[in-house]
Structure 1
Amino acid sequence: MTMRRPIILLLLAPAVLLVGLLFVLPLVGVMSLTVHDGTSFTADPIRELLDSRVALVVLERTFMLAASVTAICLLLGYPAAYFMSSLRPRVRAYVTYLILLPFWVSILIRTYTWIVILGREGIVNTGLGALGLAPVQILYTNVAVHIGMVQILLPIVIITCLASMLDIDKDLMKAARSLGASPAQSFWKVFFPLSVSGAATGGLICFILSLGFFVTPALLGGRRSIIIANLIDLQVHQTLNWGFAAVLATALLAITLACLGVFWLLMRRRVEFSGAGLGR
């Protein structure tokens, strides 16, 4: 074991060096701008954040958008993953390829495609006009932002849930049925608790990615759906307020780390509770 340790450290060194140079150092540099303006230490950016009602509203909007998109992805992704888990392996492989197919196209192109579909003269309103109905304003609304983000993040949730479901022994469901449980009871009492960890992991990934979305809200929501990533871009490229942008980025990082911490505590308690139950 002692001989293998230097080899392991040697293999880890390139990855650690790369992460340190490309992630940790820039992150420290950004965070330093929150308390140092280049010439002296200052707390003005932090006070500006606390006094800015616009920034606090944008932070709240970002959190609510991420939460709602995550909820929609879980509501759509979990049943889809459950259906896929019941398919034959060959058919399931083809369906998985179809679900992953959108990842071959960049997010920017997919977002512009939604502009064509949801625009005033887009496919949706053209279809409504053909039916004699009035056009609907979908583009540049929160509805359009949700549609675009769910379309991008839903495959991640499906694949994460599916991976968890495929690890569940199907004989457990058969055993529950043989003991008199109905299909609904065997699902909720046996299958669902075992698949919660996969769904929670997929939801966490979806939520964290939603917090940092930039292109989709900017193009599909316009000025009505500005979230924290758009506000950071505005502070950097237009107002040139780098200190305030750094504070916003640090706040976003803090929210992300807090979510990871809560998730870790919940999963740890769940494991401890399950272990205690098995001990009894």
Structure 2
Amino acid sequence: MTRSLASLSSSLTSHRSSSARFYSPTASMALVTPLLAVLLTGFLYPVARLISLSFSGGTLSHYRRIFTESLHLDVLFSTIEVALVVTLASVLLGFPVACMMARLRRGLAMAIAACVFIPLWTSVLIRSYAWVVFLQRNGIINKLLVDAGVTEGPLKLIYTQGAVILAMTHVLMPFMILPIYSALRALPPDYVRAARNLGAGPIRTFVAVTLPLSLPGVFAGSVMCFVLALGFYITPALVGGPGSMLMATLIGQQTTVLLDWPFAAALSTVLLVVTLLFVLLFRRTLSLSKGLNSVY
């Protein structure tokens, strides 16, 4: 028996050593070079060019214009506000859906997953136009309200900030549900059973066990939703109209209508800095559990 265990250990060791590959520094650099080239040409170089363009003329005049004219600051703060509201709404609406996907039987979970994935596979343009059909003056919602006698006439639902938040939340919801679902699926069910056996009720179990251990998924989903909401262009342009301008719409206006590329670069740089600051803030705020700190 001892001889067989020794031979098994020897065979595993030899298999591990024979299957392990060793690459020289030159070969390693040759393998990494294509990825570095793509990263350099597709991300670092455009960002560097964007930042350098914002300093055209060697002055800070474009940044001074952003922070001295109230219109641009109002658009920036409105964009941050909309992104935060959309992220919060996605968490509140997406967490129960992710919990159902993680806890229900396979058939029901797959049905809910289909409801999440099918909109994700649909174009953002189509989904935005669908909300225009729902919310317009003669749309489905206004017709239902008038026919039911709730309102005497059509309400102004389209081209408002609320319509933008509603449509953006619908578009970004899958990006919140999937990370939370992944975190909940990795949660051992024994933890919940142990908490219930020790006398904790459903609410106490959720607050003390489920929620802290699901924070990695909440963090990942919040970062994705917030970053995507900051740069959203199609949905605010279609649903919000000219009265609901966000930073992406303002940058597009500067590049395509006014052809002021240096000022558009300055706006993009400010938006990039704000995005990075909020990502760091999200990480510090949501680093409440040991599991989240261990991931990062």
Q: Calculate the TM-score normalised by the size of structure 1.
A: 0.90
Structure 2 counterpart SS, 1:180: coil
Q: Quote the residue 1:248 is aligned against.
A: 267
Gaps of 5+ in 2: 1-20
Matching of residues 1-280 of structure 1 within 5 Å: 3=23, 6-36=26-56, 40-132=57-149, 133=151, 134-266=153-285, 270-271=289-290
Q: Deviations over 1:135-154 (max 9, x none)?
A: 11100001110111011001
Q: Deviation per CA, 1:54-86: give whole Å up to 9, x if none.
A: 111110000000000101010100111112211
Matches of 2:121 and 2:291 in 1, distance apart?
40
- Cα distance in 2 for partners of 1:271, 1:93 equals 31
Q: Give how far 1:155 is off.
A: 1.2
Displacement after TM superposition at 1:94 (Å):
3.2
Q: Deviations over 1:15-48 (max 9, x none)?
A: 2211211221111111111112xxx422211211
Structure 2: how far apart are the matches of 1:88 and 1:118? 36
2:39 and 2:293 mapped to 1: Cα distance?
A: 35
Q: Point out the structure with max Rg over C-alpha.
A: 2
Q: Distance in 2 between matches of 1:130 and 1:159?
A: 38
The offset of 1:265, in angstroms, is 4.0
Task: For residue 120 of structure 1, report the CA deviation from its aligned partner.
Answer: 0.6
CA distance in 1, matches of 2:223, 2:51: 24
CA contact (8 A) 2:215 2:292 kept: no
Cα gap change, 1:130/1:154 in structure 2, threshold over 3 Å: closer, same or farther?
Answer: same
Cα offset, 1:118, TM superposition? 0.7
2-structure distance, mates of 1:202, 1:46:
31
Deviation at 1:91, TM superposition (A): 3.0
Aligned length: 272
Offset of residue 121 of structure 1? 0.8
TM-score, normalization: structure 2? 0.85
Contact 2:212 2:289 in 1 (8 A): no
Query: Matched residues, percent identical?
Result: 34
Q: Any stretches of 5+ residues in structure 1 without a counterpart?
A: 276-280
